[in-house]
Structure 1
Amino acid sequence: MRALLQRISSASVTVDGSVIGESGPGLMILVCAMQGDDEAQVDQLAAKIAKLRIFKDDAGKMNRSILDIQGSALVVSQFTLAADTSRGNRPGFSGAAPAAEGEQLYTAFVRKLAARGIPVETGAFGADMAVELVNDGPVTIWMES
Structure 2
Amino acid sequence: HVGVKNYRTFMSLVRDLLVHDGLFLLHTIGRLQSKTDCEPWISRYIFPNSMLPSAKQICEACEGLLVLEDWHSFGPDYDPTLMTWYDNFTTKWHELRETYGERFYRMWTYYLLSCAGAFRARSNQLWQLVLSPHGIEGRYDAPR
Tell me the TM-score normalized by structure 2: 0.25
Could you say which structure has the higher helix fraction? 2
User: Which structure's CA Rg is the greater one?
Assistant: 2
